[in-house]
Amino acid sequence: MTKPRELPHVITDLVARSEARLTDADARLLDILLQDPIRAAMDSGKEIAARAGVHPASAVRLARRLGFQGYPEFRAFLQDKLIDDAGGDFDNPAARISARLVRAEKGGILSSILDSEIGALEQVRHAVSDADVRGFAKALHGAQRIFVYGLGHSAALSALIALRLRRSGYDAVDLAALPHLAEFLTEMTGRDVLWLLSFRDPRPVVSALLRIATDRSATLLLLSDMNGLRIEPAPERSITVSRGGVGHSQSLVVPMTIANAVILDLAAIDEGRSLRSLEKFRSFRAALPPEIPR
Q: How confident is the model at residue 95 (pLDDT cuts 50, 70, 90)?
A: low
**Is the pLDDT at 81 greater than 60, yes or no?**
yes
Q: Say whether pTM exceeds 0.85.
A: no
CATH-assigned architecture of domain 4-107: Orthogonal Bundle (1.10)
Which of 32, 11, 133 has the alpha carbon at shortest distance from 78? 11
Angstrom distance (rounded) from CA 183 to CA 159: 18
Give the DSSP H or E segment for 193.
strand 193-198
Superfamily of domain 127-287 in the CATH hierarchy: Glucose-6-phosphate isomerase like protein; domain 1 (3.40.50.10490)
Q: What is the pLDDT of residues 173-212, one digit of tens each?
A: 999 998 888 888 888 999 999 999 988 666 788 888 988 9
Q: What is the pLDDT of residues 18-73, one digit of tens each?
A: 555 678 888 888 888 777 767 777 788 888 899 889 998 999 988 888 888 888 88
Angstrom distance (rounded) from CA 92 to CA 121: 24
Helix (H, G, I), strand (E, B) or coil at 88: coil
Percent of the chain exceeding pLDDT 70 equals: 77
- 16, with CB counted inside 10 A (0-12, 13-18, 19+), is exposed
- pLDDT value of position 181: 84
Distances (CA, A) of 290 to 163, 167, 278, 285, 287: 21, 20, 20, 10, 9
Q: Note whether 74 and 41 are within 8 A (CB).
A: no
Angstrom distance (rounded) from CA 24 to CA 41: 22
Q: How confident is the model at residue 248 (pLDDT cuts 50, 70, 90)?
A: low
> Pairing state of beta strands 237-240 and 193-198?
unpaired
Q: List, in order, residues 6 or more apart from 87 with CB less than 8 Å away.
A: 2, 245, 246
**Structural domain boundaries in the chain:** 4-107, 127-287
Angstrom distance (rounded) from CA 241 to CA 251: 12
